[in-house]
Structure 1
């Protein structure tokens, strides 16, 4: 069986169908769409999840021609043609004027630049209907307004009503109401994040543009928007009281974006690939959409193009700096929650379907919502809160690809504090082999170099360092060690435990203490070590018989000074070694 072409970079539906590309038939979405009564529909999904292709599918279904090419017959042999004996095609295919525009390339550093890009986009849309300028069904005033837009003479108010004007003219010419399809509606806000003046101006402009076209527009048949986020109801979409939203939490359209396991297996079979589906599943599955669990479609297509080799495909398609920045600048409580996620645990967080861009760096709910809806987390369960409009979601990292992205974040944070990669690797090596004095020497250097990347208040630097350090250990050592933090063992909870996966290395148990004065470092370090020993934190290691010894370290911080008291515990003989104390110069004192 010959392999079919893979549709990498193909987002035009007609090209996909007629170009003999490998594809998964999602035209049943049209039947679901037509069976619903929403006047305006917003569907949110992560980037590269088929939104643009499905918008193109809607355009080709309702329009009689696209880019001068007839659409008749395009859907006859597809799933929509088999639903209800072809009724949807007979009644709707090619029957409507359609306005389609995508904001995916509106990506400017200023409002004026974004405004100009939107103007060019609208001019491109207008150019698809040259016949309107000479139509005898459109009055003289409307034709004049069309020319004002086309000649780039429109002010902002005129431009904000340009889609409404176009829909009115199309309706009058064709005698049929208009479908308005808008792809990636929220992209213009991405660049505006962090610039209040730009953000406020962009929100106001887009709100007026959408409201004029989609609210109380008598010539509108139906409208569809796609994007990554449902921007706050008091923001860009506040003018649309006729909007029905379908997010990852909702059942509607859940099977039409992303790929099911059956669909993925069929695609691999069609390409004659015998790739282990267990590996593909662990790398790219795990996204819950409504009641379904779906695969990331972009990563699957790229995996197919690489003959079934798993790699980081989706995470490298966009700029992840905003996500990294928000995590690094978050509070200690949120970082502690990330420690749970990095250890494969799930946790319950509040999620808001309506995201406020201006609260991303100040509101935990906004951050969790962004991570979920943008595809950096998934949810196991979702329930409406008893006392608010938020949802209580049990979230987790969806798959190996996303986990590796977080690994990259935290490795970069830690390694950037060292002179070079070699110093960073030496730091890790000294830790895992139990060379405490050398490890503490590197740790002291790290603290002196580190500014408040994780914390903005100097008085909280040591506490913030602890959370950052744990996350970095989870990212850097999980291949060779089981990295566990804040777990119950013996009579209490330890801070950090590194358990080697292979025989021959010692386990490392760390307990952190923060003190105000350097004079308190020694007593605090001893106290931390005593806590480890009296609470028998090493008890958990009984489950790992290949581990014979554990280095137990009490680490005390004061600003950028660090001192450690440590001892080696023999798990076989159940004996403690001598207590060794480093001094403030990171040398072993006794």
Structure 2
């Protein structure tokens, strides 16, 4: 229904065709009538308009279709999806394949939907996507353009902030900035924010994350910790694969702007979170979706850790691991680390959170470098007790070993100011925590 209304509004822009003797009378009567379009008229409406324009002007027009994938994305995972796909498939195929009255067509959208899904029967499509070089600098602002914009609007000193928040995308061979976010940032007196994320729907991303397996969750945590991961990417998405194949997860996150993808070889890409805007989105959207936590569960844990309240920290950890929110079995240190590091990402604005990151003379389990001097730096080393007897003393001994490891390997090197060290030992859902404070 909405498509028919939209097409009627398109026709209203060409009222001069309705009264011209140069245009076929039957076509004028059929498409400029007051009544609703039938399904067949709707599917052939663009061809008919092209034919009338060619008759009037003597030139075959150019057809432009913007956001061709928008109705597909909006209908995805809903009961009317099949009907929408069927109507669009007929509409696009008739418009682009059987149209002898147009010069050529340009179709733009966010996702490259597989030809079999939507453009069936079309064999002469020339496709450019995020990996193509033909229009790489046309998708966003280049660095010299951003510098010029900041200077033109009176704040050349804001360039570094603009770069931190909105740079980081690679299209073809060009490094580009998000144009919508950058212009909105300038319009809002150079106040940074998640402007792009606030405009986009996330239905497909929700489905992808709800169906993510343990490996995908681990990759998302690594990405959230600033690491690049190497994965296969297929920019052409078959909608039936969404939520079923891990490649579809990474591919859609790349083509929709959640991840930056730099080609390593063939379809293998290095994936990373592009900028601070998307880190914020990642914390708010992806991490919450992956674990589906109630933030009231883990906030007490981090509050107690920032306040060096060890009894409260042990209690919070027990409450946390007593909840049935985990899809993984807590078998070893790596599983506990994965859970706590994922939750820690929610403190992303306050801390730079690292998981197994190089620090001092080794790799720290969890390292949280403060971004705000009001809070302490935090280093956590985890151990898993496997003892069946004398559990209390064993947990104490393992926690002491973890704390000693932090100091021996100097995981805190490079930190400044108040720094809290925590050695933690887990035995199933119980935790023993040892604490030491340093002033660096």
Tell me the TM-score normalized by structure 2.
Answer: 0.84
Within a 5 Å distance, the mapping from 1:575-590 to structure 2 comes to none
CA contact (8 A) 2:76 2:203 kept: no
- Counting matched residue pairs gives 435
Is residue 484 of structure 1 aligned with residue 357 of structure 2?
no
Measure the CA separation in 2 of the matches of 1:459 and 1:542: 27
Is residue 257 of structure 1 aligned with residue 139 of structure 2?
yes
Q: Which residue of 2 aligns with 1:429?
A: 303
Could you say if the C-alpha distance between residues 447 and 173 of structure 1 is closer, same or farther in structure 2, counting changes exceeding 3 Å?
same
Q: Which residue of 1 aligns with 2:411?
A: 541
Indicate which of 294, 304, 314 corresponds to 1:417: 294
CA contact (8 A) 1:552 1:566 kept: yes
Measure the CA separation in 2 of the matches of 1:338 and 1:277: 29
Question: SS of 1:543's equivalent?
Answer: coil
Q: Which residue of 1 aligns with 2:104?
A: 222
Indicate which of 96, 115, 128 corresponds to 1:246: 128
RMSD of aligned residue pairs (Cα, Å): 3.8
Q: Which residue of 2 aligns with 1:380?
A: 262
Q: Which residue of 1 aligns with 2:58?
A: 175
Q: Which residue of 2 aligns with 1:158?
A: 41
CA contact (8 A) 1:548 1:570 kept: yes
Alpha-carbon distance, 1:146 to partner: 2.7
Q: Which residue of 2 aligns with 1:187?
A: 70
Indicate which of 410, 421, 426 corresponds to 1:550: 421
Could you say if the C-alpha distance between residues 241 and 468 of structure 1 is closer, same or farther in structure 2, counting changes exceeding 3 Å?
farther
Is residue 209 of structure 1 aligned with residue 83 of structure 2?
no
CA contact (8 A) 2:60 2:101 kept: yes
Within a 5 Å distance, the mapping from 1:86-485 to structure 2 comes to 116-139=1-24, 141-146=26-31, 151-154=35-38, 156-195=39-78, 197-320=79-202, 322-323=204-205, 326-327=208-209, 329-384=211-266, 391-409=267-285, 417-419=294-296, 425-449=299-323, 451=325, 455=327, 467-476=338-347, 479-480=350-351, 482-485=352-355
Could you say if the C-alpha distance between residues 216 and 324 of structure 1 is closer, same or farther in structure 2, counting changes exceeding 3 Å?
closer
Q: Which residue of 1 aligns with 2:366?
A: 496
Question: SS of 1:255's equivalent?
Answer: helix
Could you say if the C-alpha distance between residues 570 and 295 of structure 1 is closer, same or farther in structure 2, counting changes exceeding 3 Å?
closer
Measure the CA separation in 2 of the matches of 1:286 and 1:159: 42
Could you say if the C-alpha distance between residues 261 and 534 of structure 1 is closer, same or farther in structure 2, counting changes exceeding 3 Å?
closer
Indicate which of 382, 385, 399 corresponds to 1:511: 382
**Which range moves more in the overlay, 463-472 or 433-442?**
463-472
Measure the CA separation in 1 of the matches of 2:49 and 2:6: 14
Question: SS of 2:244's equivalent?
Answer: coil
Could you say if the C-alpha distance between residues 524 and 170 of structure 1 is closer, same or farther in structure 2, counting changes exceeding 3 Å?
farther
CA distances 1:541-580 after superposition (whole Å, capped 9, x unpaired): 26247677732112233xxxx11234457999xxxxxxxx
Measure the CA separation in 2 of the matches of 1:147 and 1:570: 79
CA distances 1:423-458 after superposition (whole Å, capped 9, x unpaired): 754321212344333113123333445546xx4x88
CA distances 1:285-314 after superposition (whole Å, capped 9, x unpaired): 111121111111112222222222222222
Alpha-carbon distance, 1:340 to partner: 2.2
CA contact (8 A) 1:554 1:565 kept: yes
Alpha-carbon distance, 1:237 to partner: 2.0
Question: SS of 1:444's equivalent?
Answer: helix
From the CA coordinates, give the structure whose radius of gyration is larger: 1
Measure the CA separation in 1 of the matches of 2:102 and 2:181: 36
Q: Which runs of 5+ in 1 are unaligned?
A: 1-115, 385-390, 573-590
Could you say if the C-alpha distance between residues 505 and 459 of structure 1 is closer, same or farther in structure 2, counting changes exceeding 3 Å?
closer
Question: SS of 1:178's equivalent?
Answer: coil
Could you say if the C-alpha distance between residues 334 and 436 of structure 1 is closer, same or farther in structure 2, counting changes exceeding 3 Å?
farther
Question: SS of 2:117's equivalent?
Answer: coil
Q: Which runs of 5+ in 2 are unaligned?
A: none
Q: Which residue of 2 aligns with 1:563?
A: 430
Tell me the TM-score normalized by structure 1.
Answer: 0.64
CA contact (8 A) 2:361 2:410 kept: no
Alpha-carbon distance, 1:319 to partner: 3.2
Measure the CA separation in 2 of the matches of 1:520 and 1:376: 48
Measure the CA separation in 2 of the matches of 1:126 and 1:477: 50
